[in-house]
A and B are shown apart, each in its own frame.
Chain A
C-alpha cells in the first residue's frame, strides 16, 4: 500500500528551483529519513505534501488524494517553526488539537507531557524554546495518523529527550502508518530508519534501505552522507 506518491514534483521560487521533478513512492509501515544539506529542498517537499505550497509542476498524492482537507485528517505534520500563540496554555493547545483532529489521543498527550515534566497549566510564553518544541512534537505524535511528516524533530532538544522522541516513534510503530523525518542528525536516527532519501539541490540523489547501504557499501548512512555531500 502506497501512502505517498509524487510524480515530477517541482517547485520554483523566482529563479531558484527548490525541487526538481521528484518521483517518489513511500509504502505504509516505513520510517524514512529525508536527508540533505541546508537548502536541498527538504522543507519545500514537506510543505508541498501538506498543501502549504502548491507545486509549480507535477503532483503529490497522499493515499491517492491531493493535499487538502481530507489529507490533513490523516497527515500529522511537525513544521520547523513554532506556531503557538503566546497567550495560550499548554492545556489550551491540547484541547485545540482534540477539537481539530478526530484521531487525536488526549490521554496519550497527557502521558507524554508527564513523561517530559511539562505542566499542562504552563503558559506557552513561559516555556523555553526547547520545551515549546517538545510540546509541539507531543501534539503531533499523539495523533493516530497514517503519515507523520516531521521537519527537524530532534534538532533543538537535548540527547535524553532525543532518545525519548525516537523511542516514541518506535513504540508508535504501526504497519499501516509511515513516518518521514527530515534531519541533519543522521547518526542519532539511523538505527530507527528503514530507508533514507538523500536530497541534493532539489533532486533525489539516493533512495535506499539503510541496511542495504551498510551491506553493499560497508559504511553507515552518516558516513555515506559525509562522502556524497563533501564540501
Chain B
C-alpha cells in the first residue's frame, strides 16, 4: 500500500516525518538497521531520490547514520531519540493550541478544559 501525502507540502519532508515517527515509536529501534533506500522507496511508492533526501535530513540531525558497507542505522543515542520525540509532541501541542485559539480558547482555558474532560471520564 503506497503512503499518502498532503498535497501542499514537499514529499521529502513528509517522508522524513514518517520515518522519524517509526524511530521515536520504536518501530525502528535504537541502533537498528534501516531498510535499503530501494526497499523503502518501493514500500512508500516514492521516487528513490526523494527518499534519499529525507534520509539525508535525518542523517544531518544525527538520528540516522550511514555505514559505508552495511547500510543505514538508527542512532544508538537514546537521549537524542527522546529529544526528537519531545519535539514531535511539542509540534502537535502547538498545532492543537493554535486550533483552540481559533475557536476562542486561550492556552490556559484550553488546559483547564482538557483537565475537566479527563476528570469527567468514568474511571
Residues of A within 8 A of B (CB): 29-31, 163, 166-167, 170-171, 173, 191-194, 210-212, 214-215, 218-220, 222-223
Contacts and interface: CB of A to CB of B under 8 A. Distances in A.
Contacts of A194: 47, 49-50
Contacts of B5: 191
B45 interface: yes
A113 B12 CA distance: 33
Contacts of A31: 47, 49
B122 interface: no
Contact of B11 (A170, A171, A211): A211
A212 B13 CA distance: 11
Interface of B: 2, 5, 7-12, 38, 41-42, 44-50, 53
Contacts, number: 62
Contacts of A220: 7-8
Contact of B42 (A29, A171, A214): A171
Given A170-B41, A192-B46, A192-B47, 19 more contacts: A30-B49, A31-B49, A166-B45, A167-B42, A170-B38, A170-B45, A170-B46, A170-B48, A173-B41, A173-B47, A191-B5, A194-B49, A210-B11, A211-B10, A212-B10, A214-B10, A214-B11, A218-B9, A223-B7
B91 to A, nearest CB: 18
Given A173-B48, A191-B50, A219 B41 contact: no
Residue from A173, A191, A193, A211 having most chain B Cβ neighbours under 10 A: A191
